[in-house]
Structures are given as structure tokens and as C-alpha cells.
Amino acid sequence: MTSLPTTTGKKLGLVIDLDTCVGCQACVTNCKEWNTSGHMAPLTDLNAYGAGADGVWFNRVHTYEVAGHEGCGASASRTMHFPRSCLHCEKPECVTVCPTGASYKRASDGIVLVNEDLCIGCKLCSWACPYGAREFDVFEGVMKKCTLCVDRIYNENLAEEDRVPACVLTCPTSARHFGDLGDPNSDVSKLVASRGGVDLMPEMGYQPVNKYLPPRSRKDTASSMPAPELKPADTANGLLGWVDRLLSR
Amino acid sequence: MHPALSVIFFTTSSGAGYGMLSVLGIYATLGYLSRSLWFSLTTMIIALGLITAGLLSSTLHLGHPERAWRAFSQWRTSWLSREGIMAVATYIPALLFGMVWIFLPASTAVLGVVMAVCALGTLYTTAMIYRSLKPIHHWHNQHVVPCYLVLGPMTGAVWLLVLSQLFAQPIPFLSPICLVLLAAGLTAKWLYWSFVDSTSGPSSPASATGLGKPESGVQVRSIEWPHTEANYVMKEMGFQVARKHAQRLRTIAIWAGFLIPGVMIETAILQPSTNPLIWCVPAALLMSVGIITERWLFFAEAKHTVMLYYGAQKA
């Protein structure tokens, strides 16, 4: 049903650190790698090796030049890498606009999913998402989206430490964190509180579960760490002194 | 937004059909609708034909048209589902109305009201599909519903005028009512364009990336896209072509869709000695071209917030 649950048991989601993300695209790659054979498989690619390549991806990393933000410090601007994927909103209108009931938000953990067998491919959900999180699979004729790796996080065939979304598991700078954002005592909730985590486009009223940590404020100058001054070698004593005296004759 | 031709044809064709049913229903209720087998039969076939062709066309843009029946299930939350239900439900009073009007001597007053309400209700649900989408400022505003509710009956009334003249079954006051509807349609579209030209949505690249409110002064400039080729999101939500010619296309829509047809129908009123079809047939054809242009612009000019991630400064 496309009616939203009044509350969800958990609010599973991601916390993404824009201060430490280096834009390496590893999360994008591992997302594609896992999900092209996962719950929403396949993530179809068309003309993958030619001109006009097109395909379904759940995660896209943009790069921006940011100016006028405290994260820039004394510099005029800074570079910021920005991963963009489904935010598993509390008020996901991508779900409520769905005419068939294919889109739904799980009451147990808040994950927003698509039932591909019910999807008629009308694309209205992708219009209703302010964040561009949903991508249509023209080959399969159905809408696809991030599953928060629902087939990893509960997967008892995986080692417990691997039961996190593929993007989180693979991030080399630990810029991505996964957990229950509905629990104020969870690690991710504490991280959001300590770093001042924010919603994307809060004015849209979708109440995203995923939070972003803005770039931290920079110090204006690097701290001073001078090297010791260079002094001439001691030529008064020792072997070096004898050699010096010998050659000075 | 990408202007899918199937959806443009659906909203204009079905819009005219439902508009014609609403005008017919109101006339029948007021007792101003004459009965003549060929006029009644042709009018109902054309009205329901426009609707049916539009509805079938609207399924063409679906990824799985064979599952379209599932779209009737989520009327609790989805305006698209509500539209599907209203569109199909309107067939019931429309077919009953048609049978009584064409074949039976009974009154069509009650069926006329029911049919008009259902037809206008369908136009309303269509408009609400767009009106309810918050990421698209060009659609999420108070001018969208009035536009759809006026343009449907306007196009339906002008084509009904042509049919009534073709079968020499004059409908009282229909010509002046067409003029009023054309004026109302132009006013509604004028207000819509003035609104979208002078306002923009509440979001900005800064709010889209969580760095600050739009007025915060934080500047976010896109320097690298996540992909080298256009993806689905850019193709569907980042349509560019029409904006280049938007002003010229608006001029075409205004003159062809409203002004020239109005002058032609007015000329037909002022020259009762000439055959009105000489004026009204070109008026209806020109109006249809203008309204299709208007509908194309309605999609092509609409900007989606996702483009803020791809370098757009406003949405």
C-alpha cells in the first residue's frame, strides 16, 4: 500500500560526511557491483562501452566548488564531493503518488522499496522525488532505486561485520555510516548530533532519514611547526676537525 | 520535464472529450439540448472517442502497459490512481446519457448533471497529479487546476459548436459561451505564465546540498558531474529544447489557442448570413494546435529540483 506507516520501528539510514568524502567513486562502484545481482537486479546498462552509455545506478557522486561556507576557512572556496542516493524519507511522496502500490515504505525499519512485479513504469515516483534518487530501467520497464542493501543488512550468510550497505562497507575514508537514526543513542545519531548533521532540501517537507555532515570549519592558517635551524658542522674536534685542519694547510 | 507526446495527446484529447461531456451535461440539465439522431450519435462518438483515444495513448508511455489495471488500486493517496478511476467511472453516466439522449424520449437532466460532475472531476484529478508534485515549481502552484478546469470545457465547447453547426442543431448561446471560455482560458494561462515568470521554487544548490538556506549566501557550483553521458534523471527531468523558444511558442499558443479562434467565432456571430462553419472549423483546428503547443510548454518549461544538483541555480 502506498499509504505511509504512521511510525516505523527503526529509521535505518545513512550518514554521509561531506568533510571526508574524497569523491573516489568506490561507493558508486560497489553499490553497482552488489545491486546488479541483488534485490533490484539487474541494474541494466545500455551501450556500456560506446557513445551514449546509459544505465541504472543507485548512487551518484557529484563534485562542487563551495564558497561562502565556514568549511572554506580563509580560502575563497573549497572542493566538496557529494554522494547522492535515496534518503529513505519519512514523508516519501514518491511512495504516495504511486498508483499501483508498487512503491512502499516498510513499517519495520523505514526502508523505501519498489515491488517490481507491481510497477507499471509510469515514472511518476521519479517526478515526485526532489533528489533524483529513482532511476527508470528502460530495458525492464520498471523503476529502480536504492534498497539500503536490504539483502545485505539482514543477510545471515554474511559475516556480521559485513551486514552493512555495500557503499558503507567499501568507503576508504569512512565517510559513510549506517545505523538506526530513530534511536537517539545509536552511533549514527550521536555522530549527527556532534557534527550538526543536516537534511537536504528540508523546505520540501519530505523529512529525509539520511543525514549529511557539512564540511568542518577550517583554521585560517596552518599551525607553525618550524624545523631546527641549520648550523655549520663542528670542526673544532674529532676526526672531522683533524681532516679540516689537514686540508686547510 | 520531458514532454512525452503520449501524455500531451492524452491531456489535450481527453481534456476536450471530458470538456465536451461537461458542456453537454449542463445544457441537457438546463433543457437546452435538442434531440436529433445523427447529431446526438456523432457528438457522443466524438466525445467518447477523444476520451478513449487519449486514455489509450496515456498507457503508451508506461513501461508495462499490460499492468495498467493495477493503477486503480491506490486511490487513498495517489492522484494518478484517482484520475484512472474517475476517467473510467465517467463512462457509466456518459454511456447512459448517450443512450437516453440518442434513443429514448426520457429526460436527460439528472444524467446530465452526473455526467458533467464526473467529467469535471476527471479534469480536476488530472490537474492534481501535477499540482501535487512539490519538486516542480511550474506545476506545484494554484494556477494549474484552474487552467485544466477551463481549457477542457473550452476546447470541448468549441468542437461542440462545430458539430452543432454541421448538423444544423443550434445550441442556444453556445457561440458566446465559447467566447467567454476562450477569454477565461487565456486569462488563466496568462496568470499562470505571469506567476511562473516572476517566482521560483524554494530550493537552491545550497539547500540541495545541505549547506544552507537559499538566502544564506553559500554558493555551490557544479564542477564535475557523476557521469559523462546524460542519465535517466537528466533526460526525464532536465529537458532543455523548448526553453530556448519558449517565448515564441507562448506567442503561438496565445494567438492560435485563444485570440484568433475568438475573433473567428465572433466573426461568425456578426455575419449570420454566411455559413458559420467557414469560420468555426478553422477556429477549432487552430485552437487545437494552440492548446497542444500550450500543453507541450507546460511540460517542457517545467523545471525539477534535481537539476539543482547538475548546475541549475533555480528550480
CB A133 within 8 A of CB A86: yes
Do the bridges between strand A12-17 and strand A176-180 make them parallel or antiparallel, or are there none, so unpaired? Answer: antiparallel
- pLDDT of residue B217 exceeding 80: yes
Out of A66, A137, A143, whose CB is closest to B211? A66
Q: Which residues contact B192 (CB under 8 A, 6 or more apart)?
A: B141, B143, B144, B147
- Give the pLDDT band (50/70/90) at residue A222: low
| Average pLDDT along chain A | 93
Measured CA to CA, the distance from residue B238 to residue A132 in angstroms comes to 11
Element (H, E) at B13: helix B5-30
- ipTM surpasses 0.85: yes
What's the pLDDT at A75? 82
pLDDT tens-digit series, residues A21-33 = 999 999 999 999 9
Cell matching residue A244: 679540516
Model pLDDT, residue A1: 66
Q: How far is CA B46 from the centre of its chain?
A: 17
Report whether pLDDT(A225) > 80. no
Residue A76 burial (C-beta neighbours within 10 Å; 0-12, 13-18, 19+): exposed
Contact flag A131-B306 (C-beta cutoff 8 Å)? yes
Q: Spell out the domain ranges in chain A.
A: 12-88+146-213
Is the pLDDT confidence value at B265 over 90? yes
Q: Are B64 and A142 a contacting pair at CB < 8 A?
A: yes
- B166 pLDDT band, cuts 50/70/90, is very high
Q: Which residue has the cell 515504505?
A: A105
Question: Would you call the peptide bond into B135 cis, given omega within 30 degrees of 0 as the criterion?
Answer: no
- Would you say residue B85 has pLDDT above 90? yes
Average pLDDT over residues B246-250: 92
Q: Is the dihedral of CA B17, B241, B302, A116 positive or negative?
A: positive
Return the ∠ at Cα B281 (arms to B278 and B287), rounded to 5°: 130
Distance, in angstroms, between B63 CA and closest chain A CA?
Answer: 4
Q: Which residues contact A193 (CB under 8 A, 6 or more apart)?
A: A184
Residue contact A120–B305, C-beta within 8 A: no
| Across B110-123, average pLDDT | 98
Note the CATH number of domain B5-310.
Answer: 1.20.1630.10
Question: How crowded is residue B267: how many other Cβ atoms within 10 Å of its Cβ?
Answer: 15
DSSP-assigned letter for residue A51: T
So what's the pLDDT on residue B60? Answer: 87
How confident is residue A232, by pLDDT bands cut at 50, 70 and 90?
A: confident
- Using one digit for the tens of pLDDT, what is the confidence trace for A68-116? 999 888 888 999 999 999 999 999 999 999 999 999 999 999 999 999 9
| Phi, psi (rounded to 5 degrees) for A61 | -110, 115
Amino acid B82: pLDDT? 98
CATH architecture of A12-88+146-213: 2-Layer Sandwich (3.30)
Task: Compute the distance between CA of residue B218 and CA of residue A204 in angstroms, rounded to an integer.
Answer: 19
Mean per-residue pLDDT, B69-78:
96
Q: How confident is the model at residue B35 (pLDDT cuts 50, 70, 90)?
A: confident
Q: Label residue A64 by pLDDT band (50, 70, 90).
A: very high
**Can you say whether the dihedral through the CA atoms of B132, B137, B138, B141 is positive or negative?**
positive
3-state secondary structure B110-159: HHHHHHHHHHHHHHHHHHHHHHCCCCCCCCCCCCHHHHHHHHHHHHHHHH
Residue B241 has pLDDT above 80, yes or no: no
Instruction: Report how far Cα B182 is from the mean position of its chain's Cα atoms.
Output: 14
Which residue type, as a one-letter code, is found at position B277?
L
Query: What mean pLDDT comes out for the span B150-179?
Result: 97
Q: How far is B81 from chain A (nearest CA, A)?
A: 5
What 3-state DSSP class applies to A163?
coil
pLDDT of residue A8: 86
Pull the grid cell for residue A115.
Answer: 515491488
**In the A/B pair of chains, how many CB contacts fall below 8 A?**
208
Confidence of residue B84 (pLDDT cuts 50, 70, 90): very high
Residue of chain B whose Cα is closest to the Cα of A103: B74
DSSP string of A113-127, one letter each residue: EE-TTT-----HHHH
- Which of A61, A120, A213 is the best mutation test for B, with the most CBs of B within 10 A? A120
Look at residue A242 in the predicted model and tell me its pLDDT. 85
Res. B245: pLDDT tops 80? yes
Strands A135-137 and A12-17: unpaired
Q: Which of B19, B16, B53, B5 is nearest to B288 (CA)?
A: B16
Q: Could you tell me which residues are beta bridge partners of residue B224? A: A63
| Candidates A22, A56, A64, A116, partner chain B, best to mutate (most B CBs within 10 A) | A64
In degrees, to the nearest 5, what angle opens at C-alpha A145 toward C-alphas A11 and A44? Answer: 155
